[in-house]
Amino acid sequence: MTLSPVKRAFKYRFTPTDAQAAELSRTFGCVRKVDNLALAARTEAWSRQERVNYNATSAMLTAWKKTEELAYLSGVSSVPLQQALRHLQSAFTNFFGKRAKYPRFKSRKKSRRSAEYTTSGFRFRDGGLTLAKMKEPLDIVWSRPLPEGVEPSTVTVSQDAAGRWFVSMLCEDPSVQPLPATDTVVGIDVGLDHLLTLSTGEKIANPKHERRDRVALARAQRSLAHKAPGDGANRRKARRKVARIHARIADRRRDGLHKLTTRLVRENQTLVIEDLTVRNMVKNRKLARAISDAAWSDFRSMLEYKAAWYGREVIAVDRFFPSSKLCSHCGKLAQSMPLHVRTWTCEGCGTTHDRDVNAAKNLKAAGLAVSVCGAGVRPQRRTPSGQSATKQESPRREP
């Protein structure tokens, strides 16, 4: 099976010169300003039951540049400004399609500092990248090569809260091709004691990246809290220190998830996971920190797009499926299964189960049912006599 080349982003660190940093900072500010002006104009029009599209905001941008108050918008490349308007158009399209919330205004302190350039806004030549309005190429740390013979279609420059500069290049990667098909199926149960438990019985430890830096993070946050309010140099320095610790945690977490998801996709044809609503689960104040550190949503996202790249299949089983309470040997449903119970014995067949391994095996079986015959994966209802009924309902989810 041959698919069209996959579009893939390659992200690199770079160190700008003082002139480049100043130019990029001006560009970030202008992008934020244009985005907020266009959002305000569209919101005002919406209050009058009118719709403003990208073409209208593009014409507004031309008019804004001619005013004395906003003449500084002409001092930066127009490409990132136009891209900001296109992204705003996409945000409204998703909003009207009920796929996203209403777009929000960007904050100078909290919003992501970034600017996107299309092919007319940069020059990529002899391994060097030069952006519009700049004379010298960026000093990029090429941690890995771009695919041979390809050039970026878009370039996004950003600066994170820790002060690090990044450039992300979107390219077609012809090296990403479907892997040879296999007959291996694996059920994957996510958890906190162990990050993943596979239906094969393998348990993958939870690195708990945030816990490793918790003391240093708490110390840095206390130092930040003691700084005088405002935008003073000491407060900026303390804020940057907190951001560096958060960035270090996120980098380690992302690296571990990439290695883990790549391995699972390469080894298995079908991967069965549970369709968890993480945003609801983190409302539990006792588990929110641990759940956020485990990054189950990131794990699923990586698993899904890598499976699409390599010709694999990811099946998400309904979140109400009682994978922990269902005996994977005889199919009998246990009455209850408190979270502290890690091993249990089935009353029907006497089989002793490890809670997580049993759940992974049930997920695998449920995924096979969906894959083979398209059966719905819903929980079984308990009758007063303890037998499973044919009719199905949705009991409360067991963690």
Catalytic residues: 189, 274, 356
Greatest CA separation found in the chain? 82
DSSP-based helix, strand, coil % in the chain, nearest 5 = 40, 20, 40
Cβ burial, residue 104 (10 Å; 0-12/13-18/19+): exposed
Give dist(CA 79, CA 371) in Å, integer.
46
Q: What is the DSSP letter of 341?
A: -
* DSSP H or E segment with residue 95: helix 78-96
The answer to whether the CB of 189 falls within 8 A of the CB of 363 is: yes
Structure tokens at 326: 């269902």
Q: Which residue has the tokens 């995924």?
A: 367
Pairing of strands 139-140, 165-173: unpaired
Amino acid identity of residue 201, one-letter, is G
Cβ within 8 Å of residue 169, ≥6 positions away: 9, 10, 11, 12, 129, 146, 152, 154, 155
For the residues of 151-210, what is the DSSP string, one character each?
Answer: --SEEEEEE-TTS-EEEEEEEEETT--PPPP---EEEEEE-SSEEEEETTS-EEE---HH
**Cross-strand pairs, 315:** 272
Amino acid at 387: Q
Q: Which of 398, 316, 392 is nearest to 355 (CA)?
A: 398
Paired tokens of 141? 């740390």
Nearest to 158 by CA among 27, 65, 310, 331: 27
